[in-house]
Amino acid sequence: MGLGCDVTHTCVAGACTDTRTAQVVQVDAGPSVRCGDNGVYCPTSGNVCCLSVDQDAGTPFGECKDPAHCPNTSIVLNCDDETDCASFADDAGHPGICATSYVSFSGAHDGYMPTSVQLSQCVGSQPFVQSFGGIGLELCESRQGCFNQQFHCQESNGGPVNPLPGYFWCDIKL
């Protein structure tokens, strides 16, 4: 395939395999989503990331499958940063973003502290910001910042639990 494995994976029969779990990582030339800490990467369409979180261990794990077959306790990740959403840029040059749907902790005073995340999907940034009153969360696994790098990318947190341990997002407030 012409792609190398990262430091936690080794090549077995032409596929990257997690050295800890021996699980094959799906790698292709198209956009992909890190699907937890178990070494799985999924495409951004078709069989996408069906992510579960072990709250006691603070670790996410997932598998690539049709989102219709994900348990209702899972998080469906169709994207994990703006690079997955390039096709959603509009004619005015506004970028597409990887937005999340979430339930917010009502006592949040230090940015958004979601108690749960249900879905990530690519959307046009202007319609997203307008429809949510200028407030939202954007995933930023690339760590490049969000919304034309106007917002700082930070490790996810939440209260009382972290709904996406090991992932990164930006609080968008316009």
Q: Which residue shows structure tokens 């989503």?
A: 33
> Which tens digit of pLDDT belongs to each residue from 55-72?
889 899 999 999 999 999
Q: Which whole number is the average pLDDT over 12-29?
A: 53
Please count the other Cβ atoms lying within 10 Å of the Cβ belonging to residue 136. 25
Q: What is the pLDDT of residue 22?
A: 45
Tell me which amino acid residue 111 is.
G
Average pLDDT, the chain: 78
Q: What is the pLDDT of residue 101?
A: 85
105 or 156: which leads in pLDDT: 156
pLDDT at 54 over 60: yes
> Which tens digit of pLDDT belongs to each residue from 133-150?
556 788 999 888 887 677
Burial of 122 (0-12, 13-18, 19+ CB in 10 A): buried
Edge-to-edge order in the sheet of strand 75-77: 59-65, 48-54, 75-77, 114-124, 96-104, 135-139, 168-173, 154-155
Whole-structure pTM value: 0.74
27 or 17: which leads in pLDDT: 17
pLDDT class for 116, splitting at 50, 70, 90? confident
**What does residue 98 show for φ and ψ, rounded to 5 degrees?**
-100, 90
Q: What is the pLDDT of residue 68?
A: 95
**What does residue 131 show for φ and ψ, rounded to 5 degrees?**
-75, -25
Q: Domain segments of the chain: what residues?
A: 9-73, 79-173
143 or 36: which leads in pLDDT: 36
Q: What is the pLDDT of residue 111?
A: 52
pLDDT class for 91, splitting at 50, 70, 90? confident
Q: Which residue shows structure tokens 């190398």?
A: 4
Among residues 144, 22, 128, which one has the least CA distance to residue 80? 144
Q: What is the pLDDT of residue 127?
A: 63
How long is the chain?
174
